[in-house]
Chains A and B, each alone.
Chain A
Amino acid sequence: MTRAGTAYLVAAGLLSFTSLACRGSETDDAGTAAPDGSSGRAGGTVLVAAAASLTDVIADLADAFEAVEPDVRIEASLGGSSSLVVAIEEGAPVDVFASANEEVMDRLVDDGLASDPIVFATNELVLAVPSGAAGGEVTSIDDVGRDDLFIGACASQVPCGAYTDDLLSRAGVDAAFDTRDGDVRAVVTKLVEGELDAGFVYRSDVAAFDDELDVIELSDDLRVVARYPVAALAEAPNRDGATAFVEFLTTDAAREVLDAAGFGAP
């Protein structure tokens, strides 16, 4: 359990770091579509800024895409949707933005930085607990109000936190939070390590840590579904590659990968 957590942290750190590093050296050829005249119209590298909750699935999606479009390389930069938007607004050379939140995407569309977003996946906010001996304290939504337990969620300012607030107000529960983290992965880490007794995360996060986390099923009226829009960005350095990847996300091949990772169909 501990090892998985460390490995994840190190991997996440390296992934976001290397993706940006690689990007720096490859920006030059990214804009030129298939200069070598090979099969596809798209080539070069596509930098995808993806919501933190897509961390595990994005690599699989990239592999599936690269199998279809061998001339294109996908690099992913992962973070909170809202932080990614800030980076895009400040001119980061991103090609595709996959958000965990439609509002944030709409902001980009309004500013003319993205157009025609497509919802390619959905996710669900769940109440997760450490499985096995570490868990067991929280059995219903009412338990998150207990002061003697450690309860976590995302900060209200980020999508998963806003969804949490929505769910709690509908449940009429006043949660005794011990942490409101800046992104969902920070909550997942603390759950996997058993530091939290329960936390609000996405169903896909639980799918990624199948052995370590369990879901406390909630009633249907408390369902909060997150929709994931994706769009090629107006200022994309690799416009063709960006369009090709966005189109790929609506194919059956992509659907299969998303299903396996716990993401629902739009």
Chain B
Amino acid sequence: MTSPDHTRSSGRFRAGARRERPPAVLLVLAGLGSLLFFLPLVGLLGRVPWSDFIDLLGDEIVTEALRISLVTSLTAAALATVLGVPLAWVLSRVDFRGSSLVRAVVTLPMVLPPVVGGAALLFALGRRGVVGEWIDGATGFVFPFTIWGVILANTFVAMPFLVITVEGALNSVDRRHERAAASLGASQLTVFRRVTLPMIAPSLKAGVVLAWARAFGEFGATVTFAGNLEGRTQTLPLAIFVSLDADRDAAIVMSVLMVAVSVVVLVALRGRWWNRNPVTA
């Protein structure tokens, strides 16, 4: 079950180490574990209408949904990074009352069913929502049914993955480097930019990828908060959902497209980021 990528990276990590046979019990459990992911993929690929594959891929519904999915998931990942890294830093470095409450609320979207998350967003930021009504009155802008609604829903569900990953990294780095920089006169912001960020770079990148992946696959919060309209708010998961019954071939082709895009991105980033010496990045 090892891909060439894994073999290569593990070979690199173990370079110089004593070669030893991995314990059978771990191999068996790992094999079972990976089956859980390989079997559905095989099932999906078994249903692909290969003869019409290219035709279906070129369908405007598919290309539009792919475009909206890429735009919204990448924007959400960027927003999650810009807002999430400072949030993680505050949670890790600033001592304040209620920090554990903030942490719990921030990670709520990870446990909340996304549909409920979407409804909560509506209650807060919808046209009649607590804040949304005020925004509408002041600017005439309404989140639901716009691409910004999709981005907001995506950011809501995706950012916790980044915050948790980055906060974990911030908590485990060696603080002496930061203190040394501070004692040489660097301001807190400079220490953060020049010392802390480079040290946590690998985790930060992992967090960005996790957040992007979560946003790319987002369905429930989006459909509840932003609606579903071709060419405006319909992402690939939404397009798959509405075509699953009427046009299953199209739905399967879009699912394979999602798998392909995700695998390409994850493998490319993994090769690029995880295998490098983290600190010299």
Interface residues of A (CB under 8 A from B): 2, 5-6, 9-10, 13, 80, 82-83, 85-86, 104, 134, 150, 152, 155-158, 177-182, 186, 189-190, 193-195
A151: nearest chain-B partner, CB-CB: B145
Complex alpha-carbon distance, A186 and B248, angstroms: 22
Is there contact, CB below 8 Å, between B242 and A5? no
Flag whether B217 is at the interface (Cβ < 8 A). Answer: no
Residue of B115, B122, B223, B232 near A195 (CB, 8 A) is: B122
- State how many angstroms separate the Cβ of B4 from the closest Cβ of chain A: 34
Complex alpha-carbon distance, A134 and B136, angstroms: 14
Complex alpha-carbon distance, A6 and B115, angstroms: 10
Chain B residues, CB < 8 A from A158: 242, 245-246
Complex alpha-carbon distance, A80 and B228, angstroms: 15
Flag whether B155 is at the interface (Cβ < 8 A). Answer: no
Q: Which of B20-28, B84-92, B123-131, B268-276 contacts A (4 or more CB under 8 A)?
A: B123-131
Residue of B116, B142, B228 near A180 (CB, 8 A) is: B228
Complex alpha-carbon distance, A80 and B242, angstroms: 10
Is there contact, CB below 8 Å, between B241 and A182? yes
B residues 110-128 in Cβ contact with A at 8 Å: 113, 115-116, 119, 122-123, 126-128
Is there contact, CB below 8 Å, between A194 and B128? yes
Complex alpha-carbon distance, A195 and B123, angstroms: 10
Flag whether B224 is at the interface (Cβ < 8 A). Answer: yes
A-B contact pairs, 12 of them (CB 8 A): A6-B119, A9-B116, A82-B244, A179-B228, A179-B229, A180-B230, A181-B223, A186-B223, A193-B123, A193-B128, A194-B126, A195-B126
Chain A residues, CB < 8 A from B230: 180
Contact with A along B179-222 (1 / 0, CB 8 A): 00000000000000000000000000000000000000000000
- State how many angstroms separate the Cβ of A33 from the closest Cβ of chain B: 33
A84: nearest chain-B partner, CB-CB: B245
